Chains A and B, each alone.
Chain A
Amino acid sequence: MTDLVSVSVEVNGRLREVTVAPHHTLLDALRDDLGLTGTKECCLVGECGACTVLIGGRSVDSCLMLAAEADGLAITTVEGLATGARLDPLQQAFLDTGAAQCGFCIPGQLVSARALLAETPRPTREQVEEGLAGNLCRCAGYEQIIEAVLRAADPATDGSPAGAPARPSGEPHPFDVANVPDAGLAPQ
């Protein structure tokens, strides 16, 4: 067996050390060594974009990069887009437009869209089409995905819900959990 390589990467703001085989890709390391399975595996030739991650704000197919090449770099995966319970405006916009269908391509779409908006904060539709050209969606929810990216980029909405949610945000939840009668002590 080949010698293993020690790699130190910052993933979603956390410093991680992994020991990988020299031929292992960044995708392998993320999924198999770090358990970050949000980054998906499909074509393994850099065509489908399911494995897209952010490195230095740019989108990278993690199936085409060796894990060893990532040594010393800062990587953001789909798991790192939200801040705690607060979704990234793109994630919220994807929910609001119904952009996620089966969901398998969505992590890659979101990460590519994040890279696009980092470079072009107010993209045109054509720029979004081009920015996501490397991310295949076979449910072909492209129209709703593009709409979501444009919505997240629109300062007027700032990614806030604009669809028709079941319950308008801000309105109190109709049920008060604390109000559920307690059955009291367990019967003896």
Chain B
Amino acid sequence: MTDAGRRIVGASAPRGGGLERVTGSQRYVADLPMEGVLHVKLVTVDAARARIDAIDASAALAVPGVRAVFTARDLPDPMPRFGPQVRDRPVIAVGETKYHGDPVAAVAAETKDSAEAGAALVRVAFEPLTAVVTIDDALAADAPLVQDPALRPDDPNAGRNVLREHRSGWGDLAAAESDADCVVEGTWSFPMVTQFAIEPHAFAAAPDGDGIIVWSSIQHPNWLQRVIASLLDLPLSKVRILAPDPGGAFGGKQHAKYEPLLAFLARALGRPVRLVLSLEETFQAVRRGASRIRVRSGFRRDGTLVFRDIDADYLVGAYADIADRTVAKGSWTANGPYLVPAVRIVARSILSHTVPSTAFRGFGNPQQIWAVESNLDEAARRLGIDPVELRLRNLAHHGDAFLPGDTPADGEWPETLRRAAERIGWGSPLSAGRGRGIAVGLKSGPTTGLSYSTVRLLADGSVVVYAGTSDMGQGARTIFAQIVAEELGAPIDWVTVVMGDTVVVPYDQQTSASRSSVLMGNAILAACRDIQKKLRAMAARLEGVDEASIVVERGEVRLPDDRVLPIRDVLIRGLGRLGGEVIGVGEFRKEAEPDHPLGGTAAFYEFNATAVEVSVDRETGDVTVERHVTVSDVGRSLNPAQVRGQDEGAAVMGLGHTLMEHYQFDAEGRIRNLGAIDYRIPTSMDLPKSMESDAIENGDGPGPYGAKGMSEGALLCVAPAVAAAVRDATGAVFHDLPLTPERVWRALRDQESRPEPPGG
């Protein structure tokens, strides 16, 4: 397909759902009118790990309007459990709480006030138990086991707090080590941070004839449908998931959390029930895995990498959720985009009595990239080689098999790095007190995928698209509308995109790993091709010519006599007096590869280079990002305004974990900074003084028109780029995030007592 033909795809078409979003008429789960709904409030205890001795609901039940206090006793025995990797999460805590915020009861009441009053009156007798809160706690010989070993009976690790261990690598590390002129080693830690979607998770459920309807702000409605069907023993056709566009998700809304509890409640009470989490409760529902990663790298004097040895511990939470998958995926690509002859990677998911960690933009990679890119920066100093030059010397080029057993490099990555370096003015003189840093980040896209789409070309040429993707802000609605507008010749405002209803919309595996433009995009494109094929037959019949001599593309029907007709003209004539429509179905699969450690190779890679310039206030330790340049290889930018929004948004989110965000715990494992006052995320006052985002477009992606997935890339390497810039400005080296003013100030103070020359 040629670029010249692109009219709607590639332009900044207005956002699908934009009007609803700016007028306040967009309805999220908490906004849906629900007749006769009961309000649900969760009951937790003020402890991380605790033995639940007794729950007395009598006072709560006496509150007017309270209809039920649901505890483990009201659920089947044994407690139903679920989870995308291990079925270890109970519908509600049974016997013991596993983390601060693990609910032990749920109160359902006629009003929010009575639900809250009831929840406050549920008396829980509990005994706090020793909680495992850090990696060292969890690995101690006498550490209590977070997970009941019976939950993973055939697992040799069941007797320790290591959920899983992942080993990968290639080449002869020992031999490579003797080849190295210089070995650089260090350990870097990444904090526990939370997704903090501005829409707190919301769930509802209602009996529906002999089935059930579950509403959720979820990214994967089809996955949730299977979970509910299995827990309630219902056929899929009797479980309807309604998933309005989430108000931000970032991975934190991928998998079921409290939907099963709501489903059991709705069935038991025979009424609709709704639970809207408080922001504090979302902190206790989702977070990113923290990590401690040791990296040893060997180099020749000229900067050529000869080996990498990476040992990563991720602190995951009390239930597996999808956390171990983030560890597996993040560590599989831990060597990054570099050509290295010998690599060894070991990564462990370590269970703890903390909030279950889950997917979060970057999916296990930002932790590795923080360590590996910081290690590379240190190597550049030791070797006396410019950091850009050192990276260019080792970066894979398009087609290089940089990761044995996986997809070769699918972009000309040095071009991305060079663009970032050029835009920041790498090598040009800096003002006093300023520093620059640069880093790159790589992430594997989806390893498997299955998306179906139905597209209906209606009698007037307008189009309805059915796609099971969740539009959580990335703008999937817009992209899908652009594709059908481009292919079927409809004006974009005549395209309706239907999502979020499992009774109506065909199956989509999930909305994650920046997949939807590629996988669902291809399914929609296939559905458009199906319609185009039917239009070809229609035109052949109308014109009395051979079908093979007709071309239908880009909204047009090209006849053998060189006449070009708009699709709509052929459609209206072809449908005739009864009207009707033309229906196309499309499917796109990325098959599983059972022998691959991740179950499949990368559909594409996200690759980003970030360069920053900072100034540091030596009196306060405050870091100001003066300039932030982020360049992503997107293959093809289907909607430049949305690509920019995703890249800049990811960049700012990356500044959050780099400069300010982290959970704080007390000795008992309780979170001490729940909520927006004590846990800070970037505001409009925390932005880089100048933000520049740029996209590399070589049309070399597997998606429609050569697009690759994008949305996570610009977050991946923010931390190492900023830390390198702070080091460049001050000489202080950091191994722990976030670079809070206090941490920076302490480092500068220590430096004054032990002077170290800046730069070098």
Contact = CB atoms under 8 A, between A and B. Distances in A.
B183 interface: no
Given A104-B247, A133-B683, A183-B577, 15 more contacts: A40-B28, A43-B676, A44-B278, A45-B676, A78-B22, A95-B14, A102-B197, A102-B248, A104-B28, A133-B684, A136-B683, A137-B198, A138-B196, A138-B197, A138-B250
A100 B246 contact: no
Contact of B473 (A37, A101, A174): A101
24 contacts: A37-B31, A40-B199, A41-B30, A42-B199, A42-B200, A45-B677, A79-B24, A95-B15, A98-B12, A98-B641, A98-B642, A101-B646, A103-B22, A104-B248, A107-B24, A130-B685, A133-B683, A138-B653, A140-B653, A142-B652, A145-B684, A163-B14, A166-B485, A167-B493
A180 B23 contact: no
A24 B417 CA distance: 54
Contact of B649 (A40, A101, A175): A101
Interface centre among B198, B646, B651, B676 (most CB of A within 10 A): B198
A175 B676 contact: no
B247 A184 contact: no
A150 interface: no
B279 A38 contact: no
A162 to B, nearest CB: 11
B492 interface: yes
A13 interface: no
B425 interface: no
A145 B22 CA distance: 12
Nearest to A142: B684
A36 B25 CA distance: 9
Interface string A78-98: 110110000100010011111
Contacts of A94: 18, 22
A22 to B, nearest CB: 11
Contacts of B384: none
B480 to A, nearest CB: 14
Interface string B577-591: 111000000000000
A106 B577 contact: no
A165 interface: yes
B268 interface: no
A62 to B, nearest CB: 13
Interface centre among B17, B645, B653 (most CB of A within 10 A): B645
Interface centre among B17, B24, B677 (most CB of A within 10 A): B24
Nearest to B200: A42
B245 A102 contact: yes
B681 interface: yes
A97 B247 contact: no
Contacts of A107: 24
Interface string A9-40: 00000000000010000001001100111111
B23 A38 contact: yes
Given A132-B684, A173-B491, A143 B279 contact: no
B543 interface: no
A103 B21 contact: yes
Interface centre among B18, B200, B485, B572 (most CB of A within 10 A): B18
B721 interface: no
B433 interface: no
A165 B645 contact: no
A144 interface: yes
A164 B248 contact: no
A48 interface: yes
A69 interface: no
Interface residues of A, number: 72
A38 B24 contact: yes
B11 interface: yes
A82 B21 CA distance: 13
A100 B198 contact: no
Nearest to B648: A143
Nearest to B651: A140
Interface in B348-398: none
Given A101-B475, A166-B14, A35 B246 contact: no
Contacts, number: 206
Closest 3 CB pairs of A and B: A38-B24, A104-B247, A102-B473
A112 to B, nearest CB: 10
A139 interface: yes
Interface string A155-188: 0000000011111000001110100110110010
B19 A140 contact: no
A42 B279 contact: yes
B18 A100 contact: yes
Given A129-B685, A184-B577, A102 B24 contact: no
A100 B19 CA distance: 9
A142 B493 CA distance: 26
B649 A140 contact: yes
Contacts of A91: 22-23
Contacts of B472: 102
Contacts of A173: 491
B14 A165 contact: yes
A99 to B, nearest CB: 8
A160 B681 CA distance: 32
B681 A138 contact: yes
Interface string B19-44: 11111111110110100000000000
A167 B493 CA distance: 9
Given A102-B248, A140-B682, A166-B493, A38 B25 contact: yes
Nearest to B279: A43
Interface string A101-139: 111111100100000000000000000111011111111
A111 B552 CA distance: 47
Given A47-B677, A133-B684, A141-B645, A105 B198 contact: yes
A2 to B, nearest CB: 9
Given A37-B27, A98-B644, A167 B684 contact: no
Interface centre among B20, B473, B491, B646 (most CB of A within 10 A): B473
Contacts of B17: 103
Given A44-B279, A97-B641, A163-B641, A106 B683 contact: no
B649 A45 contact: no
B494 interface: yes
A164 B637 CA distance: 14
B608 to A, nearest CB: 16
Interface centre among B23, B200, B461 (most CB of A within 10 A): B23
Given A42-B279, A97-B641, A98-B12, A110 B22 contact: yes
B243 interface: no
Given A139-B248, A166-B485, A48 B22 contact: no
Contacts of B245: 102-103
A87 B19 CA distance: 9
A129 B578 CA distance: 57
B636 interface: no
B20 A103 contact: yes
A103 to B, nearest CB: 3
